[in-house]
Amino acid sequence: MHAQPLARPVEPLGLAVGREAFREGMSRLGAAVTVVTTDGPAGRAGFTASAVCSVSDQPPSLLVCLNRSASVFDAFSQNGALCVNVLGPDHEALSRLFGGRTPMAERFEAADWTASVSGAPLLDGATASFDCRVVETSTFGSHDVLFCHVLAVRLGGEAAGLVYFDRRYHRV
Ligand SMILES: NC(=O)C1=CN([C@@H]2O[C@H](COP(=O)(O)OP(=O)(O)OC[C@H]3O[C@@H](n4cnc5c(N)ncnc54)[C@H](O)[C@@H]3O)[C@@H](O)[C@H]2O)C=CC1
Ligand SMILES: Cc1cc2nc3c(=O)[nH]c(=O)nc-3n(C[C@H](O)[C@H](O)[C@H](O)COP(=O)(O)O)c2cc1C
């Protein structure tokens, strides 16, 4: 048997990777929808986030990617604490509210909240909530990546979720 040559002709892959092609591809990477909240000296704030990821279970940690141009950016970077609230199937309207361009008071009026250990608002009825302290921040492109130590986890009654895929919400 002869070994196959390693080099193969390069085939066209499709769209060149500009912003639009990147977003088109990313629209097919389904993700859980969360509302990330904070409270502290810089005030209460929250935004819808799909760029949330588990990092390590020792120490229990996760990351959140936050656009520096978001109105909530200063509150998050100054408070140093946040809560990741994983949304359930009935939270589509809440996700839209926290998804931008709505005054902060109006966003929070739409649901019930409990203060967590870190001070960040925990969403009552969330599928799961991760109360966190921000321990490290990296700046990359338009976003800051917030590395967080998880201080406490609260589980909701039912393991049901909301996924954002193909620019639409899907109940899981
Ligand atoms: N990671 C992020 O910052 C995300 C931001 N969004 C915001 O919601 C708007 C609507 O999103 P879609 O309906 O999904 O349509 P879209 O065509 O704007 O985005 C498609 C996908 O690209 C990614 N994406 C969008 N904007 C991004 C950004 N600034 N940085 C990194 N990744 C980004 C996300 O995975 C998104 O689901 C976006 O224009 C953006 O403002 C939505 C999802 C993730
Ligand atoms: C489904 C969905 C997912 C989003 N995910 C993120 C995210 O992971 N990171 C981010 O910075 N913004 C994300 N956004 C956009 C923010 O929610 C939005 O910029 C934020 O609410 C601030 O908006 P504002 O500047 O009008 O207050 C997402 C929006 C939607 C609708």
Q: For residue 136, how far is its CA from the centre of ligand 2 (angstroms)?
A: 21
The span from the CA of 148 to the CA of 67, in Å, is: 16
Every domain of the chain and the residues it spans: 32-171
Each residue of 23-48: pLDDT tens digit? 999 999 999 999 999 999 999 999 99
Ligand nearest to the CA of 20: 1
ipTM of the prediction: 0.98
Ligand nearest to the CA of 34: 2
Instruction: Name the pTM for this structure.
Output: 0.94
Atom 10 of ligand 2 has which residue's CA nearest to it?
A: 66
Does residue 163 line the site of ligand 2, with CB under 6 A?
no
Domain 32-171 superfamily per CATH: Electron Transport, Fmn-binding Protein; Chain A (2.30.110.10)
* Contact present, 44 and 38 (Cβ < 8 Å): yes
End-to-end alpha carbon distance in the chain: 49
